[in-house]
Structure 1
Amino acid sequence: MTGSETPFDHRSHRMMPEQRWFEDFRIGERFPLPSRTMTDAIFLAFQAASGDNHPVHYNREYCRAHGMPDMLAHGYQVAIQTAAGAGIFPHLVEESLKAFLEQSSRFLHPVFAGDTLYPALEVDELSPNRTTGVVGLRSTVHNGGGVMVLEGRHRYLLRRRPVTP
């Protein structure tokens, strides 16, 4: 280390140097998540992780024999595309996040192998408490044709900004 170098501190090693607290969020604020094409590898990884062994999720011939164009993505395989950790939200709340409270999903249209999905989260609830608040996020996933294939919600408990003396 040279004389002008600052000692390394892992606490300052962050993707987002400015932290946000409950009161920093606004209704309608959007957090797009990376798009992802549902490849054979993603189907295989999901099947391995979930243990789901129904042929509709891994056997093309079975799917085609049942009138589908390709393998059908499991609903949870689509829902995990809305994981907030794929975007910037959790990096913004490293100091304020207390808990991931709940998640819900409605599956609106089928997703098949080869479909590209575009997930997003949007603030739709701000419920303040004394020292915390709940941030609700509407989750959506659209396919490449613009059809919404999933709609749901996430709710997070965040700390309010600390009072400085």
Structure 2
Amino acid sequence: MTGFDPRAHRLVAAQRWFEDFTLGERFPLPSRTMTSGLFAAFQAASGDNHPIHYDRDYCQARGLPGMLAHGYQVAIQTAAGAGLFPHMVEDSLKAFLEQSSRFLAPVFEGDTLYPCLEVDELSPNRSTGVVGLRSTVHNQRGVQVLEGRHRYLLRKRATAG
């Protein structure tokens, strides 16, 4: 017996519950450069076969500086699983309720994206609550290319009695 307990092997030791979050709390996600490999992987996963997402010559013939990222390829940069939030709520998360996105500016191959989630809603219920996260993505020039929202249903901390 080694004393190892896989349940204790967590990225974030302290679990959080609905009432532990505050409005304005931010969860930056890792930045990522949109490489040709990521374009190819997204095309393979999505099945999208429009040449604007994989053919440089096609794009340049239409006045674009390079391949244009698919909107979903940009939206997935806000996946909470890339950061600490889901590790904080492993014990309290009941459901991922919804996601929405608006695309504000184009993203091209070579752009580096900086996603972030920020608590903008705390809607309590009796034993649960909804945590809303505003999602944003900026590029390396500081231009906001996406805005959106995620909503999660979390348990409240159990009370004695």
Normalising by structure 2, what TM-score? 0.98
Superposed CA RMSD: 0.8
Per-residue CA distance 1:68-92 (angstroms, 9 max, x = gap): 0000000000000000000000000
- The residue correspondences of 1:34-73 to structure 2 (distance < 5 A) are 34-73=30-69
Structure 1 Cα separation of the partners of residues 33 and 155 of structure 2? 35
Per-residue CA distance 1:14-40 (angstroms, 9 max, x = gap): 011100000000000000000000000
2:81 to 81, 85, 99: 85
Q: Which residue of 1 aligns with 2:95?
A: 99
| Identity, % of aligned positions | 78
Tell me the amino acid that sits aligned with residue 113 of structure 2. Answer: L
Larger radius of gyration: 1
Residue 141 (str. 1) matches residue 141 (str. 2)? no
Q: Which residue of 1 aligns with 2:29?
A: 33
1:153 to 139, 142, 149: 149
Structure 2 Cα separation of the partners of residues 16 and 110 of structure 1? 35
Secondary structure of the equivalent of 1:90? helix
Aligned positions, number:
161
Unaligned runs of 5+ in 2: none
Unaligned runs of 5+ in 1: none
Secondary structure of the equivalent of 1:117? strand
Secondary structure of the equivalent of 2:39? helix
Tell me the amino acid that sits aligned with residue 32 of structure 1. Answer: P
Segments of 4+ moved more than 2 angstroms: none
Q: Which residue of 1 aligns with 2:115?
A: 119
Structure 2 Cα separation of the partners of residues 163 and 16 of structure 1? 23
Secondary structure of the equivalent of 1:45? helix
